[in-house]
Amino acid sequence: MYPETGDPYYIVAPSYIGTSAGVRALHLLCHSLNVSGRSAYLLPDPASIHLTFHTHPDLLTPCVTEDVVRWHLKQKKLPIVVYSEVISGNPYDAACVVRYVMNFPGLLGGDKSYADDELCFGYSKSLAAASGFPENVLFLPAMDTRTFKPPPSTQRRSGACFYADKYQKVHGGKLYDITRNCVEITRDEPGSQTPEQIAALFRKSELFFTYENTLLATEAVLCGCPAVFIPNPYLHEIINVNELGMEGYAWGTDAHEIARAKATVAEGAANYLRTFDVYWADLTRFIALTQDHAVARRQMRRAFSADSVKLEKSPRSDPCPSFLSRLPKPVEREIAKLLSTLGFARLGTRIWNDSLDQRGRGIRIDESIHRIVALLRSAGPVE
119-133: pLDDT as tens digits: 999 999 999 999 999
Give me the numbers of helices (H) and strands (E) for the chain, helices first please.
13, 10
With a pLDDT cut of 90, the percent of the chain lying above it is 56
**Sheet containing strand 9-13, strands side by side:** 40-44, 9-13, 80-84, 96-101, 119-122
pLDDT at 238 over 80: yes
Residue 94's H or E segment, with its range, is none
pLDDT value of position 262 = 96
pLDDT at 244 over 80: yes
Q: Closest Cα partner for 192 from 20, 5, 312?
A: 20
* Phi, psi for residue 174 in degrees, rounded to 5: -100, 140
pLDDT at 333 over 90: no
Q: Are 92 and 12 in contact (CB under 8 A)?
A: yes
pLDDT value of position 254 = 96
Instruction: Name the band, by pLDDT with cuts 50, 70 and 90, for residue 17.
Output: confident
pLDDT at 304 over 70: no
Instruction: Name the band, by pLDDT with cuts 50, 70 and 90, for residue 340.
Output: low
Q: Are 366 and 349 in contact (CB under 8 A)?
A: yes
pLDDT at 305 over 90: no
Per the model's pLDDT, the better-predicted residue between 183 and 307 turns out to be 183
Tens of pLDDT, residues 54-84: 899 999 999 998 899 999 988 989 999 999 9
In a 10 Å sphere around its CB, with 0-12 CB exposed, 13-18 middle and 19+ buried, how is residue 292 labelled? exposed
Region 152-165: what's the mean pLDDT? 90
pLDDT value of position 84 = 93
Question: What is the rounded CA–CA span in Å between residue 166 and residue 216?
Answer: 13
Question: What is the rounded CA–CA span in Å between residue 235 and residue 340?
Answer: 43
pLDDT value of position 46 = 74
Q: Which domains does the chain have, with CATH numbers?
A: 9-142+275-299 (3.40.50), 160-272 (no CATH), 309-376 (no CATH)
CA dihedral 360, 184, 259, 263 (to 10 degrees): 90
Question: What is the rounded CA–CA span in Å between residue 337 and residue 340?
Answer: 5
pLDDT at 358 over 60: no
Q: Are 93 and 12 in contact (CB under 8 A)?
A: no
Per the model's pLDDT, the better-predicted residue between 31 and 368 turns out to be 31
Instruction: Name the band, by pLDDT with cuts 50, 70 and 90, for residue 330.
Output: low
Question: What is the rounded CA–CA span in Å between residue 216 and residue 162?
Answer: 10
Angle at 343 between CA 337 and CA 349, to 5 degrees: 45
Question: What is the rounded CA–CA span in Å between residue 199 and residue 160?
Answer: 13
pLDDT value of position 135 = 95
